[in-house]
Amino acid sequence: MTNWRDTGFSTRAIHAGQDPDPRTGAVVPPVHQTSTFAQQAVGEHGGWDYARGGNPTRDALQEALAALESAPHGVAFSSGMAACDAVLRTLAPGDHVLLADDVYGGTYRQLERVHGAWGLGFDPVDLSDLDGVAAAWRPATRLVWVETPTNPLMSVFDIAALAELARERGALVVVDNTFATPYLQQPLALGADVVVHSTTKYLGGHSDVVGGAVLVRDDALAERVAFLANAVGGVPGPWDVWLTLRGLKTLAVRMRAHCDNARAVVDALVGHPAVRRVRYPGLPDHPGHAVAARQMRDFGGMVSFDLADEPSALRACGRFRVFTLAESLGGVESLVEHPARMTHQSVAGSLLEVPGTLVRLSVGIEDPDDLVADIHHALA
Ligand SMILES: *Cc1c(COP(=O)(O)O)cnc(C)c1O
Q: What pLDDT is recorded for position 188?
A: 98
User: Residue 208 gets which letter from DSSP?
Assistant: S
Q: Pick from 200, 209, 243, 335 the residue to mutate for probing ligand 1's pocket: most ligand atoms within 8 Å of its CB.
A: 200
Q: Pick from 65, 114, 150, 151 the residue to mutate for probing ligand 1's pocket: most ligand atoms within 8 Å of its CB.
A: 151
Q: How many angstroms separate the alpha carbon of residue 45 from the centre of ligand 1?
A: 36
Q: What pLDDT is recorded for position 18?
A: 96
From the list 165, 193, 157, 198, the residue with the least C-alpha distance to 65 is 198
Establish whether residue 178 lines the binding site of ligand 1, counting it when its CB lies within 6 angstroms of any ligand atom.
Answer: yes
From the list 188, 194, 198, the residue with the least C-alpha distance to 104 is 198
Q: What is the position in ligand 1's atom list of the atom closest to the CA of 147? A: 13
pLDDT digits (tens, 9 = 90+) for 335-367: 999 999 999 988 888 888 999 999 999 999 999
With a CB cutoff of 8 Å and minimum separation 6, the contacts of 197 are 65, 80, 83, 176, 177, 178, 203, 212, 213, 214, 215
Sign of CA dihedral 326, 330, 336, 342: positive
Establish whether residue 200 lines the binding site of ligand 1, counting it when its CB lies within 6 angstroms of any ligand atom.
Answer: yes
Residue-wise DSSP of 261-291: HHHHHHHHHTT-TT-SEEE-TTSTTSTTHHH
- pLDDT band for 93, please (50, 70, 90 cuts): very high
Would the pLDDT of 9 be above 80? Answer: yes
pLDDT digits (tens, 9 = 90+) for 23-41: 999 999 999 999 999 999 9
pLDDT digits (tens, 9 = 90+) for 183-228: 999 999 999 999 999 999 999 999 999 999 999 999 999 999 999 9
Provide the β-strand partners of residue 360.
304, 337
Q: How many angstroms separate the alpha carbon of residue 110 from the centre of ligand 1?
A: 12
d(CA 260, CA 364): 10
Kindly report the protein residue whose alpha carbon is nearest to atom 9 of ligand 1. 80
Q: What is the position in ligand 1's atom list of the atom closest to the CA of 150? A: 13
Establish whether residue 204 lines the binding site of ligand 1, counting it when its CB lies within 6 angstroms of any ligand atom.
Answer: no
- Fold of the 4-248 domain: Aspartate Aminotransferase; domain 2 (3.40.640)
What mean pLDDT do residues 258-276 have?
Answer: 97
Establish whether residue 110 lines the binding site of ligand 1, counting it when its CB lies within 6 angstroms of any ligand atom.
Answer: no
- For the chain, give the percent of residues with pLDDT over 90: 96
Collapsing DSSP states into helix, strand and coil, what is residue 145?
strand
Phi/psi at 139 (5° precision): -55, -30
Kindly report the protein residue whose alpha carbon is nearest to atom 4 of ligand 1. 80
Q: What pLDDT is recorded for position 352?
A: 84
Q: How many angstroms separate the alpha carbon of residue 21 from the centre of ligand 1?
A: 32
User: Residue 44 gets which letter from DSSP?
Assistant: B
Collapsing DSSP states into helix, strand and coil, what is residue 228?
helix
d(CA 283, CA 265): 12
**Cα distances (angstroms) measured from residue 101 to each of 37, 107, 123, 145, 146:** 46, 11, 8, 10, 10
User: Residue 114 gets which letter from DSSP?
Assistant: I
Would the pLDDT of 242 be above 70? Answer: yes
Q: What pLDDT is recorded for position 98?
A: 98
CATH number for the domain formed by residue range(s) 251-379: 3.90.1150.10
Q: What pLDDT is recorded for position 349?
A: 86
Q: What pLDDT is recorded for position 1?
A: 62
What mean pLDDT do residues 310-316 have?
Answer: 98
What value does the CA radius of gyration of the chain take, rounded to a whole number of Å?
A: 21
Q: Pick from 155, 156, 196, 201 the residue to mutate for probing ligand 1's pocket: most ligand atoms within 8 Å of its CB.
A: 201
Contact 63, 19 (CB under 8 A): no
Establish whether residue 151 lines the binding site of ligand 1, counting it when its CB lies within 6 angstroms of any ligand atom.
Answer: yes
Q: How many angstroms separate the alpha carbon of residue 38 from the centre of ligand 1?
A: 36
Sign of CA dihedral 102, 167, 193, 116: negative
Average pLDDT of every residue of the chain:
97
Find the distance separating the first CA and the last CA of the chain, reported in whole Å: 57
Q: What pLDDT is recorded for position 2?
A: 81
Q: How many angstroms separate the alpha carbon of residue 80 from the centre of ligand 1?
A: 5
Q: What pLDDT is recorded for position 50?
A: 97
From the number of C-beta atoms within 10 Å of its C-beta (0-12, 13-18, 19+), residue 238 rates as buried
Domain spans, the chain: 4-248, 251-379
d(CA 120, CA 144): 13
What mean pLDDT do residues 136-147 have?
Answer: 98
Q: How many angstroms separate the alpha carbon of residue 152 from the centre of ligand 1?
A: 11
Task: Please list the active-site residues.
Answer: 52, 104, 176, 201
pLDDT digits (tens, 9 = 90+) for 63-88: 999 999 999 999 999 999 999 999 99
Kindly report the protein residue whose alpha carbon is nearest to atom 6 of ligand 1. 80
**Whole-structure pTM over 0.95, yes or no?**
yes
Contact 199, 172 (CB under 8 A): no
Q: What pLDDT is recorded for position 348?
A: 84
